[in-house]
Amino acid sequence: MAFIQLKNICKKYPGAAKNSVTDFNLEIEEKEFIAFVGPSGCGKTTTLQMIAGFEEITEGELFIDGKRMNQVAPRDRGIAMVFQNYALYPHMTVEKNISYGLKNMKVPADEIKRKTDWAINLLGLDEYRKRKPKNLSGGQRQRVALGRAIVKNQKVFLMDEPLSNLDAKLRVSMRSEISKLHRQLGSTTIYVTHEQVEAMTMADRIVIMKDGVIQQVGKPMELYEHPVNKFVAGFIGSPQMNFYDVTVEGSCVLFPDGSKIILPDNVLKNLNGKTGPMILGIRGEDIKLDGLNLDLLKDSVQSSVVDNVEIMGNENNLYFNFGGSTTIARVSKYEVSQLGDSISFVFMPTKLHFFDKDTEEALF
């Protein structure tokens, strides 16, 4: 039996025309790190709050460690939560902020000290223990918020966009710290974020949501390489996957501007004879400009003019118009192109994604 089970969970607020969360089904194993990800308003935080007990479940059932939790008070669910807003007490030191919850739980003084010292040492906060929040950096405040949660020694950690208030560099380092902390504690963690990079780099599995409905659940690379629909394909990956409205005729893919590429037999087999209008997707790194691939796929070589170049350091993003759409190719830092350069390129045929024109579901 899974450690956390969400069965047909729905949430509808009074007076709302539709559900905020609809038929949410998920099983989470003990010690697993799960990320809920999706655009603002997709229902990920609402789902987290139903697990925490801060929001009432309209329909469905929630089980934690085999116990039905629908009517259980938040304090009795065995959950620790870290919020986007650190919510530290400004008049208390780091040490007192971390220990305050334990005092409210009537934990003996010697155990409070032991747990507080352990958390402070684990999070590298020893030199700041006598400081108040106004004298801490954003990253240090976030670590205090984590410390306040971990001293409670709960089996489940819920994190609601805990890094969104930090600058980009600090977010990277804190991602690593939270992942390491998860491994050390052996807790079950549910992490809400709108940043797909955070989800990809931290989670064992990712739950992608849209309009209150789960779109796909899987390991990071499963979602990246085998998205079930256009939404997932476009949401996961940076830069976003390139999409084109195309028509498949026989072994040819025809683009609106008259360009065409030839599909090999293995791709045609995957399409299972389907032809006509559909959506084609390809990731930027699967658009190749090197001589070897241009020669191997000479029947499908395309050309365009570079509109913009993003120098990323370890790679470059080339922007150009193709197939009636702005296209982004992700190339090596050694493949130098300038604004206005003419380029030749090919799409790697085995990396093409095809989606139904009407439903936007993946065709294979």
What's the gap between Cα 285 and its chain centre?
20
What is the per-residue pLDDT for 173?
84
Q: At the topology level of CATH, where does 4-235 sit?
A: Rossmann fold (3.40.50)
**Model confidence, pTM:** 0.92
> Does domain 242-356 fall into CATH 2.40.50.140?
yes
Give yes or no for a contact between 288 and 346, defined as CB atoms under 8 angstroms apart. yes
What is the per-residue pLDDT for 169?
83
Report the Cα–Cα distance between both ends of the chain, in Å, rounded: 31
CA distance 40 to 195: 10
What is the per-residue pLDDT for 163?
87
CA distance 350 to 284: 14
What is the per-residue pLDDT for 349?
95
What is the per-residue pLDDT for 30?
96
Close Cβ partners of 258 (under 8 Å, ≥ 6 residues apart): none
- H or E stretch including 340? none
In order along the chain (364 residues), what is the average pLDDT of each group of 10 residues? 94 96 98 97 97 97 97 94 87 95 90 94 92 92 91 92 84 88 92 94 97 98 98 96 97 94 94 96 97 94 96 94 96 90 96 98 96
Domain layout of the chain by residue ranges: 4-235, 242-356
